[in-house]
Structure 1
Amino acid sequence: MSDLHCPATLLVARHGDAEYGHPSVLSDEGGWLTTRGREQVRALGQSLGDRRIARVYTSPLQRAVESGELVATLLDVDAVVVEGLEEFSVGALAGRPHDDPELASVFKAWMHGDPGRFIPGGESGADVLRRYREALQAIADQHRGETVLVFSHGGVMSFALPRLADPVRQDLVARAFLPNCGAAEVRVDADGFDVVTWPGSIDRSVV
């Protein structure tokens, strides 16, 4: 491991476009990449050819694992699954419509400074932020002075990444909609986390 003051660079990307077995309702299922999703992942991999990616990390959910494995093959590096990078669980709300008002209320509370709220049968915002920060920190600690690619998920990224440092990056919060394979560049050193670039938009249609 290099000196702690030597930053690790994490390119944290949303997985490629995916399909699901129950697409019309809330679910924690892993899904799988569509043809479009695979094209998005390949394009991301090609765009990173000069970044000297040391390793690819993914959440345990299948759509992220497939994204990581595909781009790792393109970049000729390993792909490693890491617990803690996954999307927040919908818990007991599984099976409800995507626009379920209870889930929307909890997520809105998280985004507006009340991370203590729980999704019924699932996590609180504080739980999500804690495990996400710990997962990214563990990756960074292995890659001081290097750049890695991390595949994660739009909801957890839009909530957690702007809150990795204190104070909350409100400029990032305002651009909460993340496209598939959009990557945020996050530098991590002994002073903490710094989100250098952000792929988010105020336009929901990019999701």
Structure 2
Amino acid sequence: MNDLQCAVRVFVARHGEADYETELLADDGGSLSAAGRSQSRALAETLAGERIAHVLSSSMSRAVQTAEIVAARLGVDVTVREGLREFSVGSFVGQTGDPDPFRETFDSWLDGDLDAAIAGGESGSQVVDRVRGVLDEVADRFRGEAVLVVSHGGAICTAVPNLARNLDRRHPLGRPLANCDVVELAADADGWVARSWAGTPVPMVGTIR
């Protein structure tokens, strides 16, 4: 991220509710349900007064569909970025996901052990780095503007608390992001700060770790 004259505002949203072709774990799939489309329209209405300049989306279909619904309402374009995808299910592809095979690794990430990795998948550092890359691109490209980024619950809850200097890494505990919930970020020359998490303001204090 380069030095910024004006802070960029980024609204990082989880995609809308989706229906899936199968209950088995996979790195792709999922299309917005009727409820997900309604949530996406509501998100667009919420952001209508924010002068959104652009929408960036994960390449996963449920995120792209969410982004396109919002962008159409706001009259802006959508750019897809692989860096915004959900964390990979790794070697658990094709399994049921019950019990949750990611819980132990995700808890390690929240505790600050970003070297922990999902078997056959990504480490926390890899998730944080690829999301950071997209957000830093946004900060450089859209100085002084507002942008919507559509991603996924796991990726957001892993990356954002490690990027925003006023969030504890364990902030997502007890604060799950529902479909189309938003984390508002701002970037300046000192990096990222969180302004709100799922509608709740975040204190603008120093670094918390």
Say yes or no: TM over 0.5. yes
Aligned to 2:35: 36
Partner SS state of residue 116, structure 1: coil
Indicate conservation of the 8 Å contact 2:14/2:152, yes or no. Answer: yes
Gaps of at least 5 residues in structure 2 are 201-209
Aligned to 2:20: 20
Distance 1:33 1:169, change over 3 A: same
Task: Select between 108-117 and 94-103 the one with higher mean Cα deviation.
Answer: 94-103
Distance 1:167 1:39, change over 3 A: closer
- For residue 186 of structure 2, what is the amino acid of its counterpart? R
Q: How does 1:1-207 map to 2 (within 5 A)?
A: 4-22=4-22, 24-166=23-165, 169-170=168-169, 172-199=171-198
Partner SS state of residue 173, structure 1: coil
Quote the offset at 1:31 in angstroms.
1.0
Indicate conservation of the 8 Å contact 2:64/2:80, yes or no. Answer: yes
Quote the offset at 1:101 in angstroms.
5.0
Gaps of at least 5 residues in structure 1 are 202-207
How many residues align structurally?
199
CA RMSD, 1 decimal: 1.9
Quote the offset at 1:164 in angstroms.
0.3
Quote the offset at 1:3 in angstroms.
6.7
Offset from partner CA, 1:27-50 (integer Å, 9 cap, x none)? 211311001000000011011111
Percent identical residues: 44
Separation of aligned partners in 2, 1:60 and 1:30:
11
Partner SS state of residue 102, structure 2: helix
Quote the offset at 1:182 in angstroms.
0.5
Partner SS state of residue 171, structure 2: helix
Distance 1:200 1:179, change over 3 A: farther
Shift >4 Å, 4+ stretches: none
Indicate conservation of the 8 Å contact 1:93/1:103, yes or no. Answer: no
Distance 1:185 1:130, change over 3 A: same
Query: TM (normalized to structure 1)?
Result: 0.89
Quote the offset at 1:136 in angstroms.
0.8
Offset from partner CA, 1:148-168 (integer Å, 9 cap, x none)? 111000111111111104475
Quote the offset at 1:193 in angstroms.
0.3
